[in-house]
Amino acid sequence: MLYWLMSKYQNVRGTRDLLPEVKQIFRQIEETAYKTAKNYSFKEIETPIFEFSDVFHRSLGETSDAVSKETYTFTDRGGDSITLRPEGTAGVVRSFVSEGLAQHLPLKLYYYGPMFRYERPQKGRYRQFYQLGVEVLGLESALADVECLDLAWNILKQIGLENRCVLEINTLGDVESRNSYRQALVEYLTPFKEQLSTDSQTRLEKNPLRILDSKDEGDKKIVAGAPLMENYLNETSKKFFSDVIAGLETLGIPYKINSKLVRGLDYYCHTVFEFTTTELGAQSAILSGGRYDGLVEMLGGPKTPGVGWAAGVDRLADLCSAHIESLRTAQAPIAIIGHGDKALAEAMKITSALRHQNKYCEIFLTGNFKKKLEKANKLGTEKAILIFEQENGSFEYKLKNFKTGEEIAGSITDLLKSI
């Protein structure tokens, strides 16, 4: 009967259960990111998992893969077109506009949660995936970009990835520079139109810069000879990008300029960047973002500059599981082990008191005394309080050191102090 249930009910393709071991890694990453962002004065925001479809269709652009191929869009019972969020920025900006937050500028916001895209599942890519990200609204200074990148770099270092990824960065320039480059790119690509992929033929009319980001091998060969954005930047755009690069060098953040990096969404301008790794196969980007000075206006708000990034927690977890495991072991619980029914009740009393003092404790309710010791050792705990019931109804307390095997008797007060 159990086998029948297991074979009949399975995960929806592209989703997975985050079992306790994996969820613990996710939790450690998210808590590390949240605490680090808080040190940079970011405040947490949470937006709905679904929005009216126009929020994403207008902000991401109809030619982006996230809209044209990958969104989970449906009509609800009220007849409204609803889309599960494929990314976090558009929802945060919608909230900024609809909640009237312009009076609180500048805003530095942090978020975490599930996102949804109908992609072909593979290692590191799921249809329900998790992102953490930040958005800075109301600051047009290049130093805001630098601060965002410094936060990203700090988080990656905190979870042990500073030597396993590289920052790739580019500029798309301001509107004037982008329009000049767009014209030059169209002139270059038009003679190759029939050789381009179907998607790129569509993008040639609507958003030719997206062709630079094409994964089609034929497109890649054509794009290899395309003009470079850096040759079409005006002085304002050059100055902005040079200020960002100077900031990275001042802070000692390593980087590599990638002139073909454009990012997949339509709202970016000036700085675009990705932290990439070679350890996850085709899914190389683990944290991506950039500047989006026109997005707030696109969603009906006042002219407001913005910059931000998002990191894929699924991919971060795949990369840093060993490092997180070492952190988990370093935060092993205090084990409280009772031998005998009354000793077990006493162990429960002590454990409860410690937990109410915000201590991380574990009590073992089943198994013989030997099994309980084995379980405590498996959790990685170094020391345990042992409680033995005496014939006169009192208790003997001991502190066991799992590294040395030594056991020291004493009062419960003194033993807890030593821990």
Q: Which residues are annotated as a binding site?
A: 87-89, 117, 131, 135, 263, 267-268
Q: Map residue 286 onto helix, strand or coil.
A: strand
| Residues of each annotated binding site for L-histidine | 87-89, 117, 131, 135, 263, 267-268
Q: How many CA atoms lie within 13 A of 310 on its CB side?
A: 20
Tokens of 325: 């495991």
Question: Bridge partners of 73?
Answer: 83
Q: Map residue 307 onto helix, strand or coil.
A: strand
Rounded distance between C-alpha atoms, residue 186 and residue 262, angstroms: 16
DSSP 8-state assignment for residue 122: B
Rounded distance between C-alpha atoms, residue 78 and residue 184, angstroms: 46
Nearest 5°: CA angle at 173, between 171 and 174? 150
Q: Outline where DSSP puts E strands in 125-230.
A: 128-137, 166-171
Q: How far is CA 245 from CA 130, 184, 272, 396, in A?
A: 30, 26, 12, 65
Nearest 5°: CA angle at 74, between 71 and 78? 145
Q: Map residue 29 onto helix, strand or coil.
A: helix
Question: Bridge partners of 338?
Answer: 387
CB neighbours (10 Å) of residue 295?
30
CB contact at 8 A, 153 and 253: yes
Q: How far is CA 156 from CA 86, 162, 324, 405, in A?
A: 23, 6, 12, 38
DSSP 8-state assignment for residue 340: S
Q: Map residue 75 onto helix, strand or coil.
A: strand
Question: Bridge partners of 269?
Answer: 291
